[in-house]
Copies of this chain bind each other. A is one copy, B any other.
Amino acid sequence: MAQELKDKIERSREDLLEELKEFLRIPSVSAQGGARFRECAEWVARKLREAGAEARLMETAGHPVVYAEIGQGERTLLSYGHYDVQPPEPLELWESDPFEPEVRDSKLFARGVADDKGDVLARIQALRLYREVFGEPPFRLKFLIEGEEEVGSPSLGKFVRENADLLRADACLWEGSMQDESGRPLIFCGTKGMLYVELRAKGASHDLHSMYGGIAPNPAWRLVQALRTIKDETGEITLDGLHELADPPTELDLRAIEEIPFDEEALRASWNVEAFDRGLTGDALLRELLLRPTANIAGMHSGYTGPGSKTIVPSEAFVKMDFRLVSGQSPRRVMQLLREHLDRRGFEDVEIVDLGGLEPAKTPVDSPVVRLAVESWREIGRDDAVVYPTVGGSGPTSFIATDLGIPTVMTGSVAWAGSRIHSPNESTRLEDYFETVEYFATLFRKFGER
């Protein structure tokens, strides 16, 4: 029957592709909204119904969520994706209309094709073909497809909390995976959390002549003095209590990292730097990237920043920082730690503005859903899938993985390293698209078998 599925996909290529193009033609830029935005949600719900599911739009304070269910059985699989896309700007850099999909060089170009419409539709098409070949699923399959992922999922947390029973599942397939430069499918078992803050210091009520540089409080220096307590001279994070919060990496995490084929030279060259921070290389580099928190300066400003010289003591200074957090490090708790850390050292005057947080999310690399993800790749002839204990980035994964405690994995995606997600000329390789349909249909079958 695996061959029957393969043949069916092969025969349906043109239809599958036409359907995807239809989806891509509906502009659904969440940052811009617009008259046709809801049409896109309704289109998705219709496709879910055509695939046999019961689908409906559920309202939020922002754009609606598309929710659907199908199948009967003891076990439940939840699929998360989003039908909204990034703005297409700058338009002049697109080689074809971002909302009029075009095939060139065996790739399909359009805004959202790789993030995340291709993935969303591939899963729906996988369900439809699965049913045609295998019949009704012997498990419950739920779809949660939101319309605000590209603007930071502002309504998702509340939606998940209010619909916790509805969303209950044994495992969740998240979006956001990809194939790497060499074409290996990547499987991510978690995301880092994040705390984004602005540290602010104030000096005099107005900029002063810098003849007073020796006696006037200087807010830029004040922040430098505060920052020096957050990292030591070697660049290690020294925020009181941060490391103690972290769940230590498991043996399996460390082993997974050893098995990741990671081309650090290519990454280094692409950044055009001589070395990574603190001279990190090899597994230590990957451990830092995937399993340790960060204290990143994303921006800073004070005083005069134009050309040449201006001799002032600035009246204000700020630093924007994002802390990427690992399992155990809740942003709310880290915010408290930061305040206490600064107060303990006499920096009560340094204001901390909370610009948002995301909980970390982590599913053990030996979870059944991770095994399912790997084995489904193997089943369709791909034995090169790579398991990452986490991805270095952050996302709303935690609403499902942490808050509802549902093992969650990012696997199977129409995107690859060259897909130019969020950039002009976003594309998906056609072969990747059809393979993704086969992958999810196979994964559904394997989930039902167990």
State in angstroms the CA–CA spacing of A256 and B203 once bound together. Answer: 29
Question: Pick the contact of A324 from B214, B288, B305 — CB < 8 Å?
Answer: B214
When C-beta atoms are compared, the residue in chain B nearest to A306 turns out to be B299
A216 beta carbon closer than 8 Å to chain B: yes
State in angstroms the CA–CA spacing of A399 and B450 once bound together. Answer: 89
State in angstroms the CA–CA spacing of A381 and B126 once bound together. Answer: 101
**Chain copies in the assembly?**
2
Which of A92-100, A307-315, A361-369, A410-418 touches B? A307-315
Across the interface, do B217 and A277 meet the contact criterion of CB distance under 8 Å?
yes
Chain B residues contacting A204 (CB-CB under 8 Å) are 271-273
| A309-B212 contact given A224-B224, A233-B225, A303-B320, CB 8 Å threshold | no
Chain B residues contacting A1 (CB-CB under 8 Å) are none
Which of A9-17, A289-297, A372-380 touches B? A289-297
When C-beta atoms are compared, the residue in chain B nearest to A264 turns out to be B215
A343-376 Cβ-contact flags toward B at 8 Å (1 or 0):
0000000000001100000000000000000000
A220-250 Cβ-contact flags toward B at 8 Å (1 or 0):
1100110110010101000000000000000
Question: Pick the contact of A299 from B275, B280, B295, B314 — CB < 8 Å?
Answer: B314
A208 beta carbon closer than 8 Å to chain B: yes
A114 beta carbon closer than 8 Å to chain B: no
Q: Kindly provide the distance from the CB of A284 to the nearest chain B CB, expressed in whole angstroms.
A: 10
| A276-B217 contact given A309-B356, A322-B210, CB 8 Å threshold | yes
When C-beta atoms are compared, the residue in chain B nearest to A224 turns out to be B227
A161 beta carbon closer than 8 Å to chain B: no
Chain B residues contacting A292 (CB-CB under 8 Å) are 214
State in angstroms the CA–CA spacing of A50 and B324 once bound together. Answer: 76
Q: Kindly provide the distance from the CB of A316 to the nearest chain B CB, expressed in whole angstroms.
A: 11
A209 beta carbon closer than 8 Å to chain B: yes
Chain B residues contacting A221 (CB-CB under 8 Å) are 227, 231, 235, 297
Across the interface, do B224 and A211 meet the contact criterion of CB distance under 8 Å?
no
Across the interface, do A280 and B211 meet the contact criterion of CB distance under 8 Å?
no
A130 beta carbon closer than 8 Å to chain B: no
A-B contact pairs, 25 of them (CB 8 A): A204-B273, A205-B272, A210-B296, A211-B393, A213-B295, A214-B289, A214-B292, A215-B277, A215-B280, A215-B285, A216-B273, A217-B273, A220-B297, A220-B300, A221-B227, A224-B228, A225-B228, A298-B310, A298-B313, A299-B302, A299-B305, A300-B305, A301-B301, A303-B320, A305-B320
Chain A residues near B (Cβ < 8 Å): 192, 194, 196, 203-206, 208-218, 220-221, 224-225, 227-228, 231, 233, 235, 271-273, 275-277, 280, 285, 288-289, 292-305, 308-314, 317-320, 322, 324, 355-356, 391-394
